[in-house]
Amino acid sequence: MSDGEARAQGVLLLRSGQAGGPSTPLRTGRGQRGVTRVMKHVFVTVCLSALAFCSLVIDPGPAGAVEVADAKVMEVAKELACLCGSCPTRPLDECRCGYAGEQRERIAEALEKGQTKDLVIAGFVGEFGERIFVTPPAEGFNLMAWFMPIFGIVIGGFAVRSVLRGWSRKDEESAGEEASGLSDEDRAKLEEAMKE
């Protein structure tokens, strides 16, 4: 008997239970392929499920849209004023009214479309005018808003200085006259004596 025939006869003996082993049949041939096929299906299903989960977690959004961080939105919003009428023209990044929230959403949408900070601000200026700014831009007539406080402080300082000097001169003159206690005649005599 050859080696291959002995193996075949051993398999037959094991199947029939005559070899003293368990009476369960060995999985050979077609049964082995069935288990492998099921394992392949399970593996493919797990991989596809993981891929689908990752695509849900990492949603790129609409084509061409860029996720904008809140910090960028707030950077633009801090330069623009809330014009709702109930707020004292607070910056959009600080104001919590509904109007300010809508305007922040508009800013986020514009930034997601790829507009720069300057373009977004220019769009708001085109719609609302220069009153949209929290602080007026330093150009033209608006420069007065920047320089008038400084100019007022300088002029006020000179005025206070002049008044204080006038008061101190009057006090010195009156103090000098009261301290001497001499009449005009006595003072003239004293001056002649000092000249000699």
159 or 178, higher pLDDT: 159
Asked whether the beta carbons of 116 and 127 are under 8 A apart, the reply is no
Query: Which pLDDT score, from 0 to 100, does residue 63 have?
Result: 47
- Please tell me the distance from the alpha carbon of residue 154 to that of residue 148, in angstroms, as a whole number: 10
User: Does pLDDT of 95 surpass 90?
Assistant: no
pLDDT (tens digit, 9 = 90+) per residue, 37-67?
A: 778 878 878 877 777 776 666 655 554 445 6
Q: Which two tokens stand for residue 178?
A: 């009261």
Q: How far is CA 195 from CA 176, 184, 190, in A?
A: 21, 17, 9
**The pair of three-digit structure tokens given for residue 44, joined into one six-digit string:** 């493919």
Q: Shortest CA distance to 107 belongs to which of 64, 75, 60, 61?
A: 75
Helix (H, G, I), strand (E, B) or coil at 104: helix
pLDDT tens per residue, range 12-36: 444 544 545 455 554 455 555 666 7
The answer to whether 100 and 108 have CB atoms below 8 angstroms apart is no
Kindly list the domain boundaries of the chain, sorted by start residue: 3-26+34-57, 70-135, 142-195
Closest among 114, 139, 146, 144 to 125, alpha carbons compared: 139
Confidence of residue 84 (pLDDT cuts 50, 70, 90): confident
Q: Which CATH class is domain 70-135?
A: mainly alpha
The values of phi and psi at residue 103, to 5°, are -70, -35
pLDDT(192) > 50: yes
Question: How many other CB atoms are found less than 10 A from the CB of residue 110?
Answer: 20
Rg of the chain, C-alpha, whole Å: 48
Q: Please name the helix (run of DSSP H) or strand (run of DSSP E) that holds residue 45, with its range, or none.
A: helix 30-57
Distance between CA 78 and CA 68 in Å, rounded?
Answer: 16
